[in-house]
Amino acid sequence: AAVEKGNFRHFMQKEIYDQPTVVAQTLQSYVRRDDESVALPQIDFDLSSIKRVTIVACGTSYYAGLVAKYWFEHFARLPVDIDVASEFRYRDPVLEPGGLAIFISQSGETADTLAALRHCKANGQTIAVVVNVPTSSMAREADLLLPTHAGPEIGVASTKAFTCQLAVLAALAAHLAVKRGRMTRDEERKVVRNLIETPSALNAALAYDDAIAAMAHLIAPARDVLYLGRGQDYPLALEGALKLKEISYIHAEGYASGEMKHGPIALIDEHVPVIVIAPSGPLFEKTVSNMQEVRARGGKIVLISDAEGLAEAGEGCMATIEMPQVHPLIAPLVYAVPVQLLAYHVACVKGTDVDQPRNLAKSVTVE
Ligand code: G6P
């Protein structure tokens, strides 16, 4: 049956709203509620023996991989190499025996990602695939198939596939951490409880829709927009900028907060909105000083943070968006929502073709 928009104006809007449901649906295959443990599909090799992880993907799926890099390193203490597929396949990467190569794709058909998968397979890597289309080429060629259950995604700009990818990767990070003796049973329980709470945190994030729609009018006239994030929120800055340019055609750049002074700070004036993605935590102070640098140059800040972060740094911002206080393993899923909604509403203000943006394809099956 054809997928319908129902009461939504666009597929993208519907898919943003689908997220609490499809993330819950996806997590059902990855966590066990009874004993609060992470449960991965059965596989016939020993994940504890993995020495190195390689992650390859394109577009939004690549940014999900970039978040996972922070998780695999921090929680599982695994070294991670990550690249976009079109670079990876031609750069002669060093692939040692015992490596796990993870490919992330909504469609499972992106030409460069598929070619990179075959290259890794030919070079002795174990192939894990995080994919939304179970009948796709990548799904068929996987040693370890990690499906996302986002359902068909129609909007060209990926939304629900991204958060489902993050849900699977969070469970995988916890699983690898347990297998490698880096995560205690107690911590595993805590992670699982947090994952189970993700859908309600996503709903809390969606509750800001009207406020974000109102603030879209402040962003829509801009020629350039800068997104800043640190650590595992840096990939979200990249994703936010990608979403905005894809569907609103406003030039946007995602930058690591600390790298701003090495370039983009030269662009900042009162015409450049700066979207700061910064949950409270050990890196928050650093980001606050980056915000001061922006403000000193007349830059207008939209701060996306939690109550604690907003109490500390919300004053003087052009706008703020309050997210629930969440575990670092689910924060990127939750913070993805305001980032998607902001791009969506800016595109609506500009009157672009949200579901079919110019020059873009849902699945890039040519090189
Ligand atoms: C295209 C789509 C993006 C998507 C990317 C990767 O550029 O427009 O939304 O993130 O391809 O696609 P994949 O199916 O491999 O995730």
Over the Cα atoms of the chain, what is R_g?
20
* C-beta 158 within 6 A of ligand 1: yes
Strands (E), 33-153: 37-38, 52-57, 80-84, 99-105, 126-131, 144-147
The three-class DSSP label of residue 335 is helix
- pLDDT (0 to 100) of residue 45: 73
State the distance from the centre of ligand 1 to the C-alpha of 4, rounded, in angstroms. 21
Taking Cα atoms as reference points, which of 153, 350, 366 lies closest to residue 358? 350
Tally of CA atoms within 13 A in the half-sphere of 49 that contains its CB? 8
Among 270, 262, 314, CA closest to 291: 314
Residues (pLDDT < 50) of the chain are none
Distance 167 CA to ligand 1 centre (A): 18
> What was the pLDDT predicted at 1?
59
What was the pLDDT predicted at 312?
95
Is the distance from the beta carbon of residue 340 to the nearest atom of ligand 1 less than 6 Å? no
pLDDT of amino acid 361: 86
Contact of 278 with 229, CB cutoff 8 Å: yes
Q: CB–CB of 145/131 below 8 Å?
A: yes
3-state secondary structure of 87: helix
Residue 318 DSSP label: S
Cβ–ligand 1 contact at 156 (below 6 Å): yes
pLDDT for res 363: 87
Q: What is the position in ligand 1's atom list of the atom closest to the CA of 113? A: 15
Whole-model pTM?
Answer: 0.96
What is the average pLDDT value for the chain, to the nearest integer? 95
Torsions phi, psi for 228 (to 5 deg): -120, 140
Q: What are the φ and ψ backbone dihedral angles of 129, each rounded to 5 degrees?
A: -130, 125
Please tell me the residue having the least CA distance from ligand 1 atom 4: 59
For ligand 1, say whether the CB of 257 is within 6 Å of any of its atoms: no
The residue from 121, 179, 190, 362 that is catalytic is 362
Catalytic residue check, 286: no
Q: Is 97 exposed, middle or buried (0-12, 13-18, 19+ CB in 10 A)?
A: exposed
What strands, in cross-sheet order, belong to the sheet with 99-105?
80-84, 52-57, 99-105, 126-131, 144-147
CB 85 within 8 A of CB 110: yes
Find out whether the beta carbon of 86 lies less than 6 Å from any atom of ligand 1.
Answer: no
Sign of the CA dihedral running 356, 203, 286, 193: negative
Query: How far is residue 138 from each of residues 27, 32, 113, measured CA to CA in Å?
Result: 21, 26, 9
Ligand 1 centre from 343 Cα, in Å?
17
Of 91, 75, 73, 74, the residue nearest 83 (C-alpha) = 91
